[in-house]
Amino acid sequence: MPITEILEQNARLYGDETALVEINPEFEPGSRITWRDYALIQPQAGEPFRREITWQDFDKKANRFANLLFTRGCHKGDKIAILLMNSLEWLPIYFGILKAGAIAVPLNYRYTADEIKYCLDKADCSMLVFGPEFIGRMEEICDRIPKIKNLFYVGEDCPVFADNYDKLIVYCSSHAPKVSIMDDDDAAIYFSSGTTGFPKAILHDHTSLMHAAKTEQNHHSQTHDDVFLCIPPLYHTGAKMHWFGSFLVGGKAVLLKGTKPEWILKAASDEQCSIVWLLVPWAQDILDTIERGDINLDDYDLEKWRLMHIGAQPVPPSLIKRWMEVFPNHSYDTNYGLSESIGPGCVHLGVENIHKVGAIGKAGYGWQTRIVDENCNTVKKGEVGELCVYGPGVMKCYYKDEKSTNESIKNGWLLTGDMAMEDPDGFIFLVDRKKDVIITGGENLYPVQIEDFIRRHEAVKDVAVIGLPDPRLGEIAAAIIEVKEGFECTEQQMNDFCSGMPRYKRPRKIIFATVPRNPTGKIEKPKLREIYCGESLVAQQIEK
């Protein structure tokens, strides 16, 4: 069954019930009325504090956008990119693309203008939907993306080079388009990247999307009465595929635009959320704020909150121990996945296995796992090898990249690039990353990109960027810089130079030292990690 049929089913069964809520904490009114009361009695111009749509509205908006695409010459299989912050418009636009038989291409909102152009070209996109946060970036490239036939703008003050989505959509039919969609039809392209920093276009079909929904619902037993609090960006497979478990049963979701501890707790309280997916930094911030006395839990009604789960980076066991002391009635789970396996769930811990915190878990619902050596032979338990996964959620391919596809998929098994080991009980622990990608706060940083930028400094002879363990973000980027003879460079000077990069890419630690290279000229990053990390990743994972 194509994923679009679930939306139509929800519209039939739960048409007048709330499907999505958007909360903008920065626009909170000064009064003490609840968010729900405020939405009913005091609408305001501009961006409101709280918005919501029903399942029927959701379905109609998706239909309208699909029909709008047809008016602009969209055909089945066309690629339509989405460059939006989380909002009520995001998911109806996504499903409108799918209902048109087209392929949705979500883009990272942190991409620079050149990265946006690269991804649009790589995926052969013919149209793009973007929001006000991206006007400047689109202005830089709008005359350099000839494949893009239409730019749709979502928001107020539409720029002259784009079409106004809000004004056009009202004239389009709200009836479902008559497009035949099969399970094996292409559905979405998500972008990932390896150590080179060049994003790869990951192609999934409708079978992948449906399996993600079934896996998530199987793991966390969502019912129609559950309310899912969604905080991470929807362009990422993690947030959307976790939401898919609630989507499958017509459960309400709350899109929270902000990560402050008080905002998360207030949203969970006011909207009576039962499931919350967090990243490690957000969970730590909540605990730290409570322990400092800045937040009083008695001010919130959190009785409905039953599950807290975490993904996107290794989880310190000490964090979960602290969490369970503060929230003893919560179930806890962690999930492992990657965009090539349609996001989280191919491996998961399981709420019944909290005694194994530190492991990523076992094969998820409908998935199989193996740990293999360099010849793809399964290693013995306790031995380190590369983690491989097999299941209906494995990507079809890297779009237009046969070489990388063949390197990553062997007889249907996806090589994850992560080194792992399996303990005697069958639980999998990550040991180290085969690739050098740094995961900081759930976001990927690509060392080569940062290194290339730093090398532009006149005083830099050589540079290597590695990830250092960080109790809050999981990892931080550290730049080991070798200065040219006769030159001087201070930490402040380098930080000032790096301000030319997007903030999230800037190294958080500068180390002036020799950069070791092997006889073939490759940087010896394992040696650097041994010097500066102090302990291996496996030691952190099996802690306690």
Mean pLDDT score across all residues of the chain: 89
Instruction: Give residue 195's pLDDT.
Output: 37
Kindly list the domain boundaries of the chain, sorted by start residue.
4-310, 438-541
Residue 311, pLDDT > 80, answer no
Please indicate whether residue 418 or residue 165 has the higher confidence score (pLDDT). Answer: 165
Please indicate whether residue 53 or residue 343 has the higher confidence score (pLDDT). Answer: 53
Q: Are 537 and 431 in contact (CB under 8 A)?
A: yes
Per-residue pLDDT tens for 276-305? Answer: 999 887 888 899 899 889 999 999 999 999
Distance of CA 51 to the CA centre of its chain: 23
Instruction: Give residue 137's pLDDT.
Output: 97
Distance CA 83, CA 496 (A): 29
Say if strands 79-83 and 125-130 run parallel, antiparallel, or are unpaired: parallel
Q: Are 226 and 239 in contact (CB under 8 A)?
A: no
Instruction: Give residue 38's pLDDT.
Output: 40
Distance CA 349, CA 61 (A): 37
Instruction: Give residue 472's pLDDT.
Output: 85
Average pLDDT over residues 433-455: 80
Distance CA 537, CA 433 (A): 9
Instruction: Give residue 35's pLDDT.
Output: 39
User: Would you call 143 exposed, middle or buried from its count of C-beta atoms within 10 A (0-12, 13-18, 19+)?
Assistant: exposed
Instruction: Give residue 173's pLDDT.
Output: 97
Phi (first) and psi of residue 268, to 5 degrees: -60, -35
Burial annotation 505-533 (CB, 10 A radius, 16+ → b, else e): bbbeebbeeebbeeeeeebebeebbeebb
Q: Are 153 and 130 in contact (CB under 8 A)?
A: yes
Instruction: Give residue 540's pLDDT.
Output: 42
Q: Per-residue confidence at 521, pLDDT binned at 50, 70, 90?
A: low
Average pLDDT over residues 231-237: 90
Asked whether the whole model's pTM tops 0.85, one would answer no
Distance CA 152, CA 165 (A): 5
* Long-range Cβ contacts of 326-330 (<8 Å, 24+ apart): 326/287, 326/290, 326/297, 327/302, 330/305, 330/306
Instruction: Give residue 32's pLDDT.
Output: 39
Residue 107, pLDDT > 60, answer yes
Which region, left, alpha or beta, applies to residue 198 given φ > 0 means left and ψ of -120 to 50 means alpha? beta
Instruction: Give residue 433's pLDDT.
Output: 66
Say if strands 186-193 and 150-153 run parallel, antiparallel, or are unpaired: unpaired
Say if strands 397-398 and 409-410 run parallel, antiparallel, or are unpaired: unpaired
Distance of CA 136 to the CA centre of its chain: 23
3-state secondary structure of 8: helix
Q: Per-residue confidence at 153, pLDDT binned at 50, 70, 90?
A: very high
Residue 196, pLDDT > 50, answer no
Which region, left, alpha or beta, applies to residue 486 given φ > 0 means left and ψ of -120 to 50 means alpha? left
**How many other C-beta atoms are found inside a 10 Å radius of the C-beta of residue 504?**
11
Q: Are 527 and 516 in contact (CB under 8 A)?
A: yes
Distance CA 462, CA 466 (A): 14
| E strand or H helix that includes residue 477 | strand 474-483
Average pLDDT over residues 513-530: 76
User: Would you call 536 exposed, middle or buried from its count of C-beta atoms within 10 A (0-12, 13-18, 19+)?
Assistant: middle
CA separation, residue 452 to residues 115, 124, 437, 500, 510 (Å): 15, 27, 15, 12, 15
Instruction: Give residue 239's pLDDT.
Output: 83
Residue 395, pLDDT > 90, answer yes
Residue 434, pLDDT > 50, answer yes
Q: Per-residue confidence at 522, pLDDT binned at 50, 70, 90?
A: low
Q: Per-residue confidence at 455, pLDDT binned at 50, 70, 90?
A: confident
288 Cβ contact list (under 8 Å, min separation 6): 261
89: its two tokens: 């418009």
Average pLDDT over residues 9-16: 98
Per-residue pLDDT tens for 13-41? Answer: 999 999 999 999 888 765 333 434 444 43
Q: Per-residue confidence at 255, pLDDT binned at 50, 70, 90?
A: very high
Across 104-113, 270-279, 305-314, 404-413, least confident range: 305-314
Q: Are 505 and 281 in contact (CB under 8 A)?
A: no
Residue whose entry in the numeric block shows the structure tokens 């041994």: 530
Q: Per-residue confidence at 256, pLDDT binned at 50, 70, 90?
A: very high
Please indicate whether residue 399 or residue 31 has the higher confidence score (pLDDT). Answer: 399
**How many other C-beta atoms are found inside a 10 Å radius of the C-beta of residue 115?**
21
Residue 221, pLDDT > 60, answer yes
Residue 432, pLDDT > 80, answer no
Instruction: Give residue 441's pLDDT.
Output: 82
Instruction: Give residue 466's pLDDT.
Output: 92
Instruction: Give residue 473's pLDDT.
Output: 87
Q: Per-residue confidence at 537, pLDDT binned at 50, 70, 90?
A: very low
132: its two tokens: 């006000």
3-state secondary structure of 208: helix
Distance CA 332, CA 323 (A): 9
Which region, left, alpha or beta, applies to residue 60 given φ > 0 means left and ψ of -120 to 50 means alpha? alpha
CATH of domain 4-310: 3.40.50.12780
Say if strands 227-230 and 275-278 run parallel, antiparallel, or are unpaired: parallel
Q: Are 475 and 447 in contact (CB under 8 A)?
A: no
Per-residue pLDDT tens for 79-103? Answer: 999 999 999 999 999 999 999 999 9
**How many other C-beta atoms are found inside a 10 Å radius of the C-beta of residue 486?**
6
For the segment(s) 438-541, the CATH number from 3.40.50.2300, 3.30.300.30, 3.20.20.10, 3.30.110.30 is 3.30.300.30
46 Cβ contact list (under 8 Å, min separation 6): 27, 156
Average pLDDT over residues 133-143: 96
